[in-house]
Structure 1
Amino acid sequence: MLRLCLLLLSIVPLLLSFATNAQSVISVASATQSDSSLASPSEFLGYPLGQWHLRHDQINYYLKQLAQNSPRVSLESTGQSHETRQQLTAVITSAANQARLAEIVQGRQQVKAGKAPESPLIIWLAYSIHGDEASGAHAALEVSYRLSQNQEPWVQELLDKAVVLITPSQNPDGLDRFSTWTNNYTGKVKVSDENHNEHRQNWPAGRRNHYFADLNRDWLFLRHPESQGRIALFHKWQPHYLGDFHEMGHNQTFFFQPGVPTRTHPLTPKENQVITSKLASFHAKALDESKQRYFTKQMFDDFYYGKGSTYPDINGAVGILFEQASVRGQQQDSENGLLRFSQAINNQIATSFSSLKGALALADELKQYQSRFYQRKDKHPPSGREAGFLLGAPGDPGRRDDLAQLLSRHGIAFFYLKDKMQQGRHQYSQDDSLFVPINQPQKTLLLAMFDLRTEFEDATFYDVSSWNLAFSYNLQMARNVNLNVDDLLTEPHARVPDTLSSNNVAVLIDWRQQNAAPMLQTLLSEGVRVKFAAKPFSLKVDGQSLNMEAGTLQIPVAQAAMTPRELIDRLTSLAEQYRVQLQGVDSGLASSGIDLGSPDFHDIAPIKALVVTGYGTSSAEVGELWYFMDNLIGAPLTQVDISRLPSIELAAYTHLFLMDGSYANLDEKYARKLGQFAIEGGVIVAQKGALQWLSKGNLLKSDIREKRYFSQLFATDGLSFGDKAKLDARQAIGGAVLALDLDTSHPITFGLGTNRLPVLKNKVFGLSKSQAPFITAASYADEPLLDGFLAEEYQRSLSQTPAIVVERHGKGALVALADNLLFRNIWLGSQKVYANSLYFIPALH
């Protein structure tokens, strides 16, 4: 009885609490029917905004409450993140404008045609694209709340004359990863020590998305659904102004653009930077009022168009970057004193409102700038005879189609060929080529995406110095071709069905096709026997000569797992699914080269791959491999933290991937265990920094060149202290495109379709020329620089040195890559090297 009484006494306060909370929710809900009494973020949360870091679902729920209860607010959904979190943007404007949003949006679709009717100013405030830069997401809720109910005259004028888009969280998955971490380590007594776990996230941290990708580098490449939804929203509304809210190192103050003047991309109109400078006075005034220190024209630039503050600049808008010193928790000591999260939120709120006030004051200039940007005579819809880019991906419709989808998402017009055509020494097929007219509404963006330059006024880059899609897709390209677009197609040729028969002795697959790899993985997982050709060959098919390159896949029709009819039906189904072209053959006798029964056709074994993760490894490059395996290959990838690696039985795996990073936490003696893994038949694929550790462990036989080696190449005699920054810039490799000369007879290069391969180099690292025969599969070209900036000292030193090396170790191998050939998952031209490592290298005993 006593127990029952005590239990009831304990439940009563809880019941009273529920009743009180329910009453408050009811009262808020009833009160919010009028604009003046909407629940503020703090009232909604039940604690001061910022006291706890928000989860994405809390943000979305609050936006929905505003939309439900304020006539000024509606919502846009731009799809879901990888982890299926809904991405919402608040659309805030006057009730009158809300009633005609469809009309406004329809008018915005005429912007690129230079015929847009008069419309409200479109302002987009976008926050926290890096998940652990959380002050922006919190500020966004407060800004949304004030705009949804504030009755000040300037706010009412703003909402009468403008539509304000507010996206609080552009990286839902990363934001939730971060908020969970930092909340877990926040106590009642706040810890400002920078070494506290609250401020030191575990690997891979919250900056990046599900696949550890930096979404603020994905505005051009659009590899991720978060970016695809964001770009669709951009082109739907065609904003005049975009505020891009970030955080930076905690020992800084606050930054807003303009950035370094000499580091603005030449394709950005000068008028854009003039307006940027005018807007700066509004931000300065707002921060001066709160005594917040700030800086401009330093550190950050306006060069790479794949970021949120620069993509608008090449699309007729003005993008502004804001960088708040990051607290990464509740409070943290810094060189400028104690940083508090509440103050960081207030700074983001202040510059959000300065953005609104500045854009409103400069509304006419912003509108006129956008109109002039698209009303140029050379930005007309393509018709008749046009000059343009002819682009081809020989033998690989998949790469062509990926590029077509990317161009379409950016609003760039293109056409398919009706027939084959010759241009120079190259042939362009209707099955794998595109024609892109230069003169079109998105001309400036098109030129930026295929920009080719190796000379720069200022060789300092905040990000890559080149992102030329012709190189990342490894395309044949003719830059000034004149074709009549009225004679071209707006849809690709229908796929010609494969004519296979159970009378075939084998079915062949051209390995150059991007989607051949995922189809192969499916076949292996289903127990189908597949072989690959180590040498080229020719066959006679229907009286015609069929020439097949090394790397061609052969599926013998005689299989133990299924009948010929079952196999043919399955292959036909998979070919349709993956859009892969198949070739059935009735005889295994070659007219030249190897026969189908030759020992130079090697069996492909099923794979089981492991990648090392955790502190010291590059989360970006681990994520790129994961994305490649998950989204293209369709094979599982076991991720093992570096701290657990010594306890893992490696014999269960066929491949071990070591991406860039420092592996100092691994005992060098562990390299012996990896050596045994290779001797017994395992394949180690290692790149960049991982090769340094393998070299110290004597597993890598090739000699490496580290930063210390390259730094000696730069003369410092006669340089003053003021020259240090320029020297640092020349010694950095921010991201330049280099050419590799390939040994096309090596299986690691099969299917690349060329003897010269463009790669993105973004780290000071190299390999020395090796005396060992047959291990170098690719070397940097004699004159390696194709695009971007690379100091002449590097160009000379890297010339004709190894870039891809395959060393035999017993039954296995070590594949050594001097560069990341998956860079941001946009380097479709070189990603096949990883597929070759998975399927071909294990067979070369």
Structure 2
Amino acid sequence: MLRALLYFFAVSYVFGILPSASAVTTQNLSSVANLNPSSQLTSPEAFLGYPLGKWHLRHDQINYYLQQLANESDRLSIEKSGLSYEERQQLTAVITSKSNQANLKKILAQRKEVKSGKKQDGPLIIWLAYSIHGDEASGAHAALALSYQLASSNDPWIKQLLDEAIVLITPTQNPDGFDRFSNWTNNYRGQVEVSDPRHKEHKQNWPTGRTNHYFADLNRDWLFLRHPESRGRVALFHKWQPHYVGDFHEMNSNGSYFFQPGVPDRTHPLTPKKNQVLTEKLAQFHRQALDKKQQEYFSRQIFDDYFYGKGSTYPDINGSIGVLFEQSSTKGQALMTENGKLRLSDAIDNHLTTSISSLKGSLALKDDLLDYQSQFYKGRAKAAIKGRQSGYLIGSQANTGRIADIANLFNQHQITFYYLTESVAQGDKEFSAASSLFIPLHQPQKDLLLAIFDQRNEFADPTFYDVSSWNLEHAYDLDMVRNAKLDLDVLSSTAPDSHEFEADSQAVALLINWQQDGAAFVLQQLLENKIQVKFAASPFTVKIDSVEHNFPAGSLQIPLKQANVSSDKITAKIARLMAMTPLDIATVNSSASVAGIDLGSPDFHSIKPVKPLIVTGYGIDESEAGEIWYYLDTKLGVPVTLADTSHLSKIPLSGYTHIFLPGGRYSSLNETLTRKLGQFASQGGIVIAQKGALSWLNKGNLLKANLKESRFFKLLFDSSDLTFDEKEKLSARQAIGGAILELTLDISHPLSFGIPNARLPILKNKALGLEDSSTPFSVAAKYAKQPLLSGYLAKEYQRSLSQSPAILVESRGKGAVVVLADNLMFRNIWLGSEKIYANALYFIPALH
């Protein structure tokens, strides 16, 4: 009888007759057990047909459930904030009382006045945002349980909350990555629970669900706004201007639970001290809630509050209180950890607990939060600008596209700026009306403006969870005057008119200055249409309408007499392209130059079509591969092949012109493949390799230059007299979390074409350097004599890197290897140095 009973239970479990032990129901979640839900609304369990947490949810299930609640409840409406790359809609539940729901237009009109600094008397705005990293899925599940409870509960404190506050709940901030992860872990979940960390359910494929479609970490994109998910999220933030933002994540599986405040000494100096005081007051509510359920936790360690490009810190520089929550991760249903078995249901319940403590804490501190936000903006939006103004003046030589990009960024962050109505001089710099902006310091978004252009090299604690500097002056490689003073009569809120393209019937060619960011896109589209384009190997000057115009090396020439296409088709195509990107194109009626090479010179080289391949897969840095893909795909329009490391040996490389090797670990690739890459280069192919890929090339003898790697640099640090408790400080000094360094360019090298100065700022985040090359003419750039521009970099690194190579081009047979010690496309915000990649694509094949 006992054997039969055991058999029944086993079969029942396998075939789903009995619920899984890891399944979560609204009723058994300890955080919401006493919230008295109404039975009139559809619960997550009833909607799904199984207990919440039995399977990892998909994004569409979450959206449909929010819509279901919105149809059933007069407390809940839906806010849309745009589509992801894969066209998944991002939804936010707006939950408040029936009367507030009927009054949302008026409330939103009040929220538009927040940056005026006036005293607030409207409702409290609380935003709880989850799962911006798609494989940190417990938050999204908790968001559904919380949405149901707030929409249905008759508990007195819930009714008070909804009368006095509006709660915004965004379950998934990274729809594409979220579904990538959910599908993976569900695919490998069996009927019998497997908590072995080695099981595929807990070991994601490449790329992981952490990142979005282009493998970008969206929780590093709040400032830069390179991706649509981020743009929609920041628009939502400024529309509602929340008082409190809860940012829910997962951390390593062997942790407990974290909530801010973070490490006190690692809070950005621009964050008001009152912000941290309120964060600590809110933390008391989280402590009480977690203590009640006997859940261990910690604060004031590991995580900081420094980089404003994250979800918990962006609010801090925008008049809100942002709080980070980190739950140890199961990466599946159940996982054996150092602390025992951890279940998805535990993770969901913990996030639900601190979601509720966030609501209770915010409600209790309502007056403090309203007053804090008003004080943050008080006095910053006085009358319209009058007379002489002080602020930042920025410009980019002959590059309207770059100025258009940063102007768009300012608009999204609601930073006030002005265009110039005429060229102005400040100090020894000239700023043209076409490619300059003035940003007044006296404005509501002053603190955010200061943060975006923050320039500091001294730090009390040199430990950084992310980068130590992100100064957009350097990222965009701008000319900048920080203490500019301009009169009102040279400022305008309207962008200058763009030049209309009109080709002269007598024209022999069109010329494009390669310094313009839009030039590479136009070049690629012309090549796709089989239109011949040439580039200049050296500078030249031509006369246009009796005025001399200088064109630097790299400038493009489009001859209007071509064998396979008429001049009318060429000019029509150019006109269409100019409508898509800011660009100046010159028309010339003679091949003769005033100085330098003539247009018919052999130093104008025809550009060949490109067919690049990016190596992807296990060991490859997701972000770096994604940044290259994003640039080639979205900014140039290049058809690009992504090839997994496991497939490379089977791919005939002769069908490609360029092989990109992003940073990462290439230890899984064998010597056969290095020989294959060597043959590819010898036969005319271009290999573009950066950071970790260089170690593999060096070991396979594809790289002649010797490397300085982490072991080399660690020997530079004296640790002989340090005590044990100074070990962490030494590790912090040895880390390169992300500092901005200056390179000195060989401006005659084709890799430097289109970069207006002999100096180039780059972001360095890896202990890697190159020794002086014995190969002649191979060094395209060196680290400057005093390389540090902004952020933290230990003196030992600064001395060792000083005037050592940073970018090399090594010839190999008919082809070449482009060697990059750093990622010059960091998070796709480093517009100043991304030109290096375009030069490697289009110019190096002809001039290596």
TM range (shorter): over 0.9
Task: Report the Cα offset of residue 70 of structure 1.
Answer: 0.3
Task: Report the Cα offset of residue 491 of structure 1.
Answer: 1.4
Mapped partners of 2:119, 2:204: distance in 1: 47
Q: What is residue 258 of structure 2 aligned with on the other side? A: 255
Select the residue among 208, 211, 216 that pairs with 1:213.
216
Task: Report the Cα offset of residue 496 of structure 1.
Answer: 1.8
Mapped partners of 1:365, 1:525: distance in 2: 59
Q: What is residue 596 of structure 1 aligned with on the other side? A: 599
Q: Cα deviation per residue 1:167-213 (whole Å; 9 max; x = unaligned)? A: 00000000000000000111111100100000000111100000000
Q: What is residue 498 of structure 2 aligned with on the other side? A: 495
Select the residue among 838, 842, 847 that pairs with 1:844.
847
Q: What is residue 573 of structure 2 aligned with on the other side? A: 570
Select the residue among 444, 448, 455 that pairs with 1:445.
448
Q: What is residue 506 of structure 1 aligned with on the other side? A: 509
**Aligned CA distance change for structure 1 residues 220 and 411 (closer, same or farther; 3 Å):** same
Mapped partners of 1:638, 1:514: distance in 2: 23
Q: What is residue 266 of structure 1 aligned with on the other side? A: 269
Select the residue among 348, 353, 369 that pairs with 1:350.
353
Give the conservation status (yes or no) of the 8 Å contact 1:502–1:568.
no
Task: Report the Cα offset of residue 679 of structure 1.
Answer: 1.0
Gaps of at least 5 residues in structure 2 are 1-36
Give the conservation status (yes or no) of the 8 Å contact 1:127–1:140.
yes
Is 1:668 paired with 2:671?
yes
Give the conservation status (yes or no) of the 8 Å contact 2:120–2:374.
no
Is 1:168 paired with 2:168?
no
What aligned pairs does 1:539-554 form with structure 2 within 5 A after superposition?
539-554=542-557
Q: Cα deviation per residue 1:450-499 (whole Å; 9 max; x = unaligned)? A: 00000001100000000101010000000001113454111111112134
Select the residue among 191, 194, 197 that pairs with 1:191.
194
Q: What is residue 27 of structure 1 aligned with on the other side? A: none
**SS of aligned partner of 2:94:** strand
- Give the aligned residue type for 1:803: A
Q: What is residue 688 of structure 1 aligned with on the other side? A: 691
Give the conservation status (yes or no) of the 8 Å contact 1:107–1:116.
no
Of the structure 1 ranges 421-430 and 736-745, higher mean CA displacement relative to structure 2 is found in: 421-430
Select the residue among 123, 126, 138 that pairs with 1:135.
138
Of the structure 1 ranges 764-773 and 366-375, higher mean CA displacement relative to structure 2 is found in: 764-773
Is 1:482 paired with 2:478?
no
What aligned pairs does 1:652-663 form with structure 2 within 5 A after superposition?
652-663=655-666
Q: Cα deviation per residue 1:680-708 (whole Å; 9 max; x = unaligned)? A: 11000000000000000111111111100
**SS of aligned partner of 1:434:** strand
**SS of aligned partner of 2:671:** coil
Mapped partners of 1:116, 1:641: distance in 2: 57
Give the conservation status (yes or no) of the 8 Å contact 1:113–1:380.
no
Give the conservation status (yes or no) of the 8 Å contact 1:778–1:803.
yes
What aligned pairs does 1:188-587 form with structure 2 within 5 A after superposition?
188-377=191-380, 382-485=385-488, 487-587=490-590
Of the structure 1 ranges 787-796 and 765-774, higher mean CA displacement relative to structure 2 is found in: 765-774
Select the residue among 816, 820, 833 that pairs with 1:817.
820
Mapped partners of 1:696, 1:777: distance in 2: 23
- Give the aligned residue type for 1:433: S
Mapped partners of 1:376, 1:735: distance in 2: 35
Q: What is residue 804 of structure 1 aligned with on the other side? A: 807
Is 1:151 paired with 2:154?
yes
Is 1:107 paired with 2:123?
no
Mapped partners of 1:693, 1:80: distance in 2: 39
Mapped partners of 1:365, 1:278: distance in 2: 10
Is 1:637 paired with 2:640?
yes
Task: Report the Cα offset of residue 560 of structure 1.
Answer: 1.1
Task: Report the Cα offset of residue 383 of structure 1.
Answer: 4.1
Give the conservation status (yes or no) of the 8 Å contact 2:417–2:437.
yes
Task: Report the Cα offset of residue 380 of structure 1.
Answer: 6.4
Q: What is residue 838 of structure 2 aligned with on the other side? A: 835
Task: Report the Cα offset of residue 666 of structure 1.
Answer: 0.7
**Aligned CA distance change for structure 1 residues 744 and 379 (closer, same or farther; 3 Å):** farther
Q: What is residue 750 of structure 1 aligned with on the other side? A: 753
**SS of aligned partner of 2:114:** coil
Task: Report the Cα offset of residue 36 of structure 1.
Answer: 4.4
**SS of aligned partner of 2:353:** helix
Give the conservation status (yes or no) of the 8 Å contact 1:803–1:817.
yes
Give the conservation status (yes or no) of the 8 Å contact 1:139–1:348.
yes
**SS of aligned partner of 1:628:** helix
- Give the aligned residue type for 1:165: L
TM-score by length of 2: 0.95
Select the residue among 35, 39, 42 that pairs with 2:42.
39
**SS of aligned partner of 2:430:** strand
Q: Cα deviation per residue 1:543-583 (whole Å; 9 max; x = unaligned)? A: 22111100000011111122223322332332233232111
Q: What is residue 718 of structure 2 aligned with on the other side? A: 715
Mapped partners of 1:740, 1:598: distance in 2: 32
Task: Report the Cα offset of residue 668 of structure 1.
Answer: 2.6
Mapped partners of 2:84, 2:379: distance in 1: 37
Task: Report the Cα offset of residue 115 of structure 1.
Answer: 2.7
| Identity score, percent | 59
**SS of aligned partner of 2:191:** coil
Of the structure 1 ranges 664-673 and 596-605, higher mean CA displacement relative to structure 2 is found in: 664-673
Give the conservation status (yes or no) of the 8 Å contact 1:140–1:167.
yes
Q: What is residue 71 of structure 1 aligned with on the other side? A: 74
Of the structure 1 ranges 43-52 and 478-487, higher mean CA displacement relative to structure 2 is found in: 478-487
- Give the aligned residue type for 2:716: L
Give the conservation status (yes or no) of the 8 Å contact 1:501–1:568.
no
Q: Cα deviation per residue 1:419-458 (whole Å; 9 max; x = unaligned)? A: 1111122110111100000110000000000000000011
Give the conservation status (yes or no) of the 8 Å contact 1:668–1:693.
no
Q: Cα deviation per residue 1:780-823 (whole Å; 9 max; x = unaligned)? A: 00000000000000000000011110111111110000110110
Mapped partners of 2:458, 2:845: distance in 1: 43
**SS of aligned partner of 1:758:** strand
Q: What is residue 88 of structure 1 aligned with on the other side? A: 91
Q: What is residue 53 of structure 2 aligned with on the other side? A: 50
Mapped partners of 1:224, 1:692: distance in 2: 31
Count how many residue pairs are aligned between Structure 1 and Structure 2: 812
- Give the aligned residue type for 1:111: V
Mapped partners of 2:353, 2:189: distance in 1: 26
Is 1:701 paired with 2:704?
yes
Task: Report the Cα offset of residue 120 of structure 1.
Answer: 0.2
Mapped partners of 1:483, 1:541: distance in 2: 32
Mapped partners of 2:754, 2:226: distance in 1: 23
TM-score by length of 1: 0.95
Q: Cα deviation per residue 1:223-274 (whole Å; 9 max; x = unaligned)? A: 0010000000000000000000000000000000000000000000000000
Task: Report the Cα offset of residue 637 of structure 1.
Answer: 1.0
Q: Cα deviation per residue 1:5-37 (whole Å; 9 max; x = unaligned)? A: xxxxxxxxxxxxxxxxxxxxxxxxxxxxx9642
Mapped partners of 2:766, 2:509: distance in 1: 45
Q: What is residue 16 of structure 1 aligned with on the other side? A: none
Task: Report the Cα offset of residue 828 of structure 1.
Answer: 0.6
- Give the aligned residue type for 2:75: R
- Give the aligned residue type for 2:55: W
Mapped partners of 1:569, 1:465: distance in 2: 47
